[in-house]
Amino acid sequence: MCCMRSTDYILKLENVSKSFSKNFEVIRNVNIKIKKGEFVCFIGPSGCGKTVLLYIIAGFLPISSGKMLMEGRVVNSIRPDRIMVFQDNMLFPWKTTLGNVLFGLSNSNLGERERISLAEYYLNMVGLLEFKNWPIHKLSGGMKQRVSFARSLVTDPKILLMDEPFSALDSLTRRRLRKNLIEIWQKTQKTTLFVTHSMDEAIYLADTIYVMSSRPMSIKKSYSVDFPRPRDMSDPNFIKLLKVLEKDLEKDFSDKNQDNRQVDIDSVIINKL
């Protein structure tokens, strides 16, 4: 079987490192190759730098050393081909459901009818078309996050970046949205990079799981999750991989010597934009 060419990967990180000062190194020599249409999850200790890595990929933060290539070309800035879904849904409370999705097309050359049609298409995909004229404050937390999905997808990005989008939701809503997200991913085949603290969430969602170390963050291990979807958490394969991940992460979660300084990522981003 022939090896994959560099152009077969939609995204490559080569020896990517990030420091915020000489003595505060967050990411060290991360190397990743991601295929088009792949669903990737990053998991690791709290504060290890997973969100910083996602923000680097989005173009919000510069790389200290190394390089990032998208479809074989070096990229180092914000572009619409990489769209972020945040922990907080970041919706506009004064706009309707449809208005929030239409905002994603603010810079589009499409006519008004085409933009509305496209927005309604993605609202239908996330199961919210009947709520298109509702004000955002009347929607539940799970519904708001689905609006965020639709707003991100309407721009037709090549890569969807998701930073713990379910972390603020109750467990039942979280399970429903996992299922909904996989259904959307199977329809759109968007390359998706997903940060999570939940091991079972990573196994449920991912084609590939990257296990990250404590800071300065590097890749400890990666796992291909090759059993079929939809995945059952009671499946012996699921349970076996869960135990392996628990063992991999146990040392980092219990390491008392790790650097516990936190990055105020919101302040960093505001200062960069």
Write the pLDDT tens digit of every residue in 93-145: 999 999 999 999 998 899 999 999 999 999 999 999 999 999 999 999 999 99
Verify that 73 and 174 share a domain, yes or no. yes
pLDDT score recorded for residue 130: 97
Verify that 63 and 97 share a domain, yes or no. no
pLDDT score recorded for residue 272: 44
Verify that 102 and 137 share a domain, yes or no. yes
Q: How far is CA 224 from CA 23, 191, 206, 233, in A?
A: 35, 15, 8, 17
Q: DSSP assignment, residue 261?
A: P
Which amino acid appears at position 147 of this protein?
Answer: V
- Which of 121, 156, 191 delimits the end of a domain? 156
Residue 273 pLDDT exceeds 70: no
pLDDT in tens, 150-163: 999 999 999 999 99
Distance CA 137, CA 203 (A): 33
* CA 117 and chain centroid, separation: 26
Domain presence at residue 1:
no
Verify that 141 and 176 share a domain, yes or no. no
Verify that 181 and 191 share a domain, yes or no. yes
pLDDT score recorded for residue 88: 85
Q: Which two tokens stand for residue 247?
A: 């063992």
- pTM beyond 0.85: the answer is yes
pLDDT score recorded for residue 256: 46
Rg (CA), the chain: 19
- Which of 156, 186, 204 delimits the end of a domain? 156
pLDDT score recorded for residue 254: 54
pLDDT in tens, 131-154: 999 999 999 999 999 999 999 999
Verify that 152 and 162 share a domain, yes or no. no
Domain with 129 in it? 89-156
pLDDT in tens, 233-272: 999 999 999 999 999 988 765 554 455 555 555 555 444 4
User: Domain holding 163: CATH number?
Assistant: 3.40.50.300
Verify that 173 and 242 share a domain, yes or no. yes
Verify that 162 and 100 share a domain, yes or no. no
Verify that 161 and 71 share a domain, yes or no. yes
Domain presence at residue 180:
yes
Residue 178 pLDDT exceeds 90: yes
Residue 1 pLDDT exceeds 50: no
Verify that 173 and 47 share a domain, yes or no. yes
Verify that 129 and 169 share a domain, yes or no. no
Start-end of H helices in 129-254: 141-153, 171-188, 199-205, 236-254
Q: For all residues of the chain together, what is the average pLDDT? A: 90
| Number of other residues whose CB lies within 10 A of the CB of residue 206 | 23
Distance CA 31, CA 82 (A): 19
Verify that 259 and 168 share a domain, yes or no. yes
Number of domains in the chain: 2
Domain presence at residue 147:
yes
Q: How far is CA 225 from CA 177, 205, 229, in A?
A: 20, 9, 10
Distance CA 154, CA 138 (A): 22
What residue has token string 């990743």?
32
More confident residue, 36 or 272: 36
Q: How far is CA 41 from CA 140, 194, 205, 207, in A?
A: 26, 5, 8, 8
Provide the percentage of residues in the chain whose pLDDT is more than 70. 89
Which regions of the chain does DSSP assign to beta strands (E)? 9-21, 24-35, 39-43, 65-70, 73-74, 82-85, 159-163, 191-195, 208-212, 219-224
Which amino acid appears at position 262 of this protein?
Answer: Q
